[in-house]
Amino acid sequence: MRLYVVTLWMGAFLLITSNKEAIAMFNPSDKIRPAECAGDWYPAKASDLSQMVDSLLNKATPPKLNGKPIALIGPHAGYQYSAAVSAAGYKCLIGQTYRRVIVMAFSHRMAGTYRGLEVSADLTAYQTPLGDVPIDRSACDQLLKNSLFTSNPSVAQSEHSLELQIPFLQQTIKDFKLVPIYVGKMSTNDYTEAAKAIVGLLDDETLLVVSSDFTHYGSRFGYEPFKDNIPTRLTELANQAAAPLLVADYDGFAAHLEKTDDTICGRGPIQLLLRILSMLGGAEGTRTAMDNSGQQMNDWTTSVTYQSFVYTRRQGTLTETERHESLKLARQTVTAQLKGEKLPAVDANNLSSGLQNKGACFVTLQNHGRLRGCIGNMEASGPFYDSILHNAVAACKDYRFVDNPVTTTELPDIDIEISYLTPMKQISNVSEIIVGRHGLYMSREYRSGVLLPQVAYERGWTREQFLSETCRKAGLAADDWKKPDTKIYTFEAQVFGEKE
């Protein structure tokens, strides 16, 4: 007997039984997960599936992106309903190379019944009609060392959200290894810890993919926040959900869910992705397509919204050459300062324009991840190169390490990082703060303090944690950010270091 998954037009699913003839169900003891959704959610015949996906990709018009995609969000309804939206995102992957794809999905059948993340302990491949995709066993085994990641094969059984992403990956990037993750119930701290584990796997040839549909509207979903002007209201709701996604704002997306109870089925994988992106220093999101089943069926009593997004790394102001020159100057300055030698002479005419222009920065010294000095200026008072010189010298004499100053013997172990700052902007609402993008400067009465963006995102802080820690840095009470006379400023930083 086989368990069939029958696609309904809104993208939900129904489970019924039938006998023998079709593709075998996934047996948890198997090493290869079969194509459970073939013939129901998408064509079972390889030639039909390939032709369908290629046709949709050819019709899609990719947006102009600033860089190589690092992440993607795509829907997972039956292909006849959502695949065109998926294709608009996956089209951006054509011509790119990835050796690993981490797909973060979830179980509809077991939603809310398991905590943490499911990662197979022994699968060797995922199967579709287009062939077998090998599992990255090394990556999976590394994740399973973390207690949040466990192996529970029943979670992936009869589940379509992850499988429906794979044919698009096979037709666009072709040769890759898969890390399949099913996200269950997670706390805020869980997202942080899981993100740290996944960040450890990331490099320039690893792609993150999230599987999620968006608003499920109608009585059958128990979600009818409005009953008039439904098409317009659904579009407004989709845009509200998209707003924090476009700037990779974890806290903003969580606030949207709390405010609207928006029935976004893949909210867990999305929140995990946003936490990962914030810990990478943020990202630029682009919405590649949007549609919904109500529009397709001309029936608004029940509707599922589909959206796709592609993410690239945030682009900074300084070029690669200017970053290299900046670090070289900082290294020469730190070396001279610690050795008691004359500081390097600078001929501004031989420097790139970015170093000649006005600029503010922080210079950070670390010894194998241990802070040894960090000094900077918040506002530009002269050329950027002068800020580098001044702050590199000051970082060597950071008052916090007066009893244990950095020494010449540490020079081979010192890593230098520079944070090139944008001008500060006073904010009126803390919802404007995006962890991963913003640093904070806070002042109240005669006290003030600053924390760079990376202090928050490397630790996986939420917005409120960031505000509280900045208060402490300023010598204020942890909740003084709530007081009306406290002034809060945001700024952005292009962070780069010798480790790159």
* Rounded Cα–Cα distance for residues 481 and 134 (Å): 50
Read off the tokens for 387: 């800020």
Read off the tokens for 78: 């039956």
Residue 184 backbone dihedrals phi, psi, to 5 degrees: -105, -150
Could you tell me the CA-to-CA distances from 272 to 18, 193, 277 in Å, in that order? 37, 10, 9
Count Cβ atoms below 10 Å from residue 378 Cβ, excluding itself.
Answer: 16
First-to-final CA distance of the chain = 55
Q: How confident is the model at residue 8 (pLDDT cuts 50, 70, 90)?
A: very low
* Rounded Cα–Cα distance for residues 250 and 274 (Å): 5
pLDDT digits (tens, 9 = 90+) for 413-468: 999 999 999 999 999 999 999 999 999 999 999 999 999 999 999 999 999 999 99
What residue has token string 């990641």?
149
What residue has token string 């990956």?
169
- State residue 80's pLDDT score: 95
DSSP one-letter string for 185-227 = B--HHHHHHHHHHHHTT--TTEEEEEE----EEBGGGTB-S--
Q: Which residues pair with residue 289 across a beta bridge?
A: 308
Tell me the pLDDT of the chain averaged across its residues: 92
Give the strand pairing for 206-211 and 100-105: parallel
Give the strand pairing for 177-183 and 216-217: unpaired
What residue has token string 């499911």?
118
Q: What is the mean pLDDT of residues 350-356?
A: 93
- State residue 27's pLDDT score: 54
In the DSSP assignment, the letter for residue 289 is E
Read off the tokens for 496: 């780069």
Give the strand pairing for 125-128 and 32-33: parallel
Q: Which of 279, 280, 318, 327 is nearest to 498 (CA)?
A: 327
Amino acid identity for residue 167 in this structure: P
* Rounded Cα–Cα distance for residues 356 and 138 (Å): 47
Most confident of 16-20, 215-219, 346-350: 215-219
- State residue 12's pLDDT score: 45
* Rounded Cα–Cα distance for residues 286 and 303 (Å): 24
pLDDT digits (tens, 9 = 90+) for 179-200: 999 999 999 999 999 999 999 9
pLDDT digits (tens, 9 = 90+) for 220-232: 999 999 999 999 9
- State residue 499's pLDDT score: 83
- State residue 29's pLDDT score: 53
- State residue 113's pLDDT score: 87
Could you tell me the CA-to-CA distances from 279 to 85, 180, 313 in Å, in that order? 28, 21, 12
pLDDT digits (tens, 9 = 90+) for 373-412: 999 999 999 999 999 999 999 999 999 999 999 999 999 9
Tell me the CATH number for domain 2-313.
Answer: 3.40.830.10
149 in Cβ contact with 104 (< 8 Å): no
Could you tell me the CA-to-CA distances from 251 to 47, 278, 392, 441, 481 in Å, in that order? 43, 10, 34, 19, 17
Class for the domain spanning 425-497:
alpha beta
In three-state form (DSSP H/G/I as H, E/B as E, the rest C), the secondary structure along 371-400 is: EEEEEECCCCCCEHHHHHHHHHHHHCCCHH
Cβ burial of 37 (10 Å; 0-12, 13-18, 19+) is buried
Percent of the chain topping pLDDT 90: 89
- State residue 188's pLDDT score: 95
- State residue 28's pLDDT score: 53
Domain 320-421 indexed as CATH 3.30.700.20? yes
- State residue 415's pLDDT score: 97
86 in Cβ contact with 74 (< 8 Å): yes
Q: Which of 168, 109, 158 is nearest to 133 (CA)?
A: 168
In the chain, what are the domain boundaries?
2-313, 320-421, 425-497
Q: How confident is the model at residue 163 (pLDDT cuts 50, 70, 90)?
A: very high
Q: Which of 61-65, 256-260, 330-334, 479-483 has the lowest mean pLDDT?
A: 61-65
Q: What is the mean pLDDT of residues 59-78?
A: 95
Residue 13 backbone dihedrals phi, psi, to 5 degrees: -145, 160
